[in-house]
Structures are given as structure tokens and as C-alpha cells.
Amino acid sequence: MKVKGLLLIAILFIVGCSKPLPDDKLDYAGHWLGPNVELIIFEDGSVIYEYASGGVSTSINGPIQEFTGNSFDVGFGPISSTFVVSQPPMQLFDGRWQMIVDGVSLERVD
């Protein structure tokens, strides 16, 4: 029960520190999956990121600090990670959405 309570507090803190996505970046919002990657971007500007491969895992949860072009920084103050977006979200001919982040092709699943 304590872990769930701490997780809820952490999520509320993240949401409270975020700024909504700019209108021109609303297509970024969604649940994105790719090989070994799960990325959830909320319209309120908060991010949940998970990477796992070969016994190594990385997790980043925080608000989007800023967009630079198509890429964005996630974190708090000087502690942040840059997500390099080489292809911003685009809708494919079959209706699926795709973007390329840090060289990984992600598909929106929501």
C-alpha cells in the first residue's frame, strides 16, 4: 500500500509541475510503443518513458521543460533528458500514427 501511495504522490507532483503541450505539439500526446520502448505523453505536458533491453532498463518520468524544434527536454531543473525527434508524429495512409524518437520508430496505440 505504501508503494501505491508514493507512486500516486509522484504522479501528482509530475502533473503539477508540467505545462500543457503547445497547440502545435498536441499530436505528440498519446501512448507510443516501439522496440523495447514505451513512451506516454500527456496533453498536460507530463511524460512517462520506459526502455528495457538486454537486462538494462531506463525510466524517466517528468514534465516537458521545453521543445526545441521537434525535440523536447523532460525533467526538473538542470536534471533533464533530451528526446531527439527526427520525425514528428505523422498519420500514415492506413490511419496509424508514427514518430521517430532517439532513432526508434514508435507507433501510437491509443
3-state secondary structure of 69: coil
**Rg (the chain; Cα; Å):** 14
Q: How far apart are CA 35 and CA 81, in angstroms?
A: 20
pLDDT digits (tens, 9 = 90+) for 41-99: 999 999 999 999 999 999 999 999 999 999 999 999 889 999 999 999 999 999 999 99
Q: What is the pLDDT of residues 22-45, one digit of tens each?
A: 999 999 999 999 999 999 999 999
**pLDDT at residue 103 is higher than 80:** yes
* Apex 105 CA angle, 91 and 71, nearest 5: 80
Nearest to 74 by CA among 101, 97, 100, 54: 101
| Under 8 Å between Cβ of 66 and 81 | no
The pTM assigned to this predicted structure is 0.83
pLDDT greater than 70 at residue 12: no
